Amino acid sequence: MAAGNERTKESAQREFVISRVFNAPRELVWKAWTERERLMQWFGPKGFTMTAAMLDFRPGGVFHYCLRSPDGKEMWGKFVYREIVAPERIVLVNSFSDAKGGLTRHPMSPTWPLEMLSTTTFVEHEGKTTLTVLWAPLNPTEEERKTFDAAQDGMRQGWTGTMDQLAAYLAMG
């Protein structure tokens, strides 16, 4: 396989893509994704609350956060920003972490990929914003790739709840 086909080979895995149109201008949707105080009000699956957040929003910077589930369990996560093209695109590496920011495995899925490459795009049309999230395992083992592929329905459910919370936040103005 020629070097130019490496990306094609990697893309052969099932990427997870979810998209939603929000009745809000791109600038507001962008701010909701890039400002700590705003993120803390909506980010996470339905019923989860963000109890801690440290944000250094720049390429190479980190967003380290804690989500509390409805039953009180804490789950830490971390984004490491790779590319930021305001207000169009954010590329980051997403992982579970501990309270100190160290990488950890998914608390309920030991074969979940350790790191995910996430690309979020923001496209405005007639005052509305189409937000698209694309997720793919980063350098997964075969077992991690199979776990990711099998989890598409669960990811769709989790991201749908997260986007529902974003829609409700944006509706508040």
Encoding tokens for residue 133? 């999230």
DSSP state letters, the chain: --GGGHHHHHHTS--EEEEEEESS-HHHHHHHHH-HHHHHHH-SSTT-EEEEEEE--STT-EEEEEEE-TTS-EEEEEEEEEEEETTTEEEEEEEEE-TTS-EE-BTTBTTS-S-EEEEEEEEEETTEEEEEEEEEESS--HHHHHHHHHTHHHHHHHHHHHHHHHHHHHHT-
**Res. 3: pLDDT tops 80:** no
**Res. 10: pLDDT tops 70:** no
135-166 per-position pLDDT tens digit = 999 999 999 999 999 999 999 999 999 999 99
- Residue type, position 126, single letter: E
Go through 85-113 and write b for each residue having 16 or more CB atoms within 10 A of its CB, e for each that does not: eebeebbbbbbbbeeeeeebeeeeeebbb
pTM summary value: 0.90
Q: Report yes or no: 56 and 62 within 8 Å, Cβ to Cβ.
A: yes
Report helix angle 142-150 to 152-171, nearest 10: 60
119: left (phi over 0), alpha (psi -120 to 50) or beta: beta
- Average of per-residue pLDDT across 100-122: 95
7 band by pLDDT with thresholds 50, 70 and 90: very low
Q: Give the pLDDT confidence score for residue 4 in this predicted structure.
A: 43
**Res. 88: pLDDT tops 60:** yes
**Res. 12: pLDDT tops 90:** no
Q: Give the pLDDT confidence score for residue 14 in this predicted structure.
A: 80
Whole-number average pLDDT of the chain: 92
Q: Peptide bond before 70: cis, by omega within 30 degrees of 0? A: no
* CATH code linked to domain 14-171: 3.30.530.20
Encoding tokens for residue 26? 């791109």
Q: Give the pLDDT confidence score for residue 121 in this predicted structure.
A: 98
Where are the chain's structural domains?
A: 14-171
173 band by pLDDT with thresholds 50, 70 and 90: confident
51-81 per-position pLDDT tens digit = 999 999 999 999 999 999 999 999 999 999 9
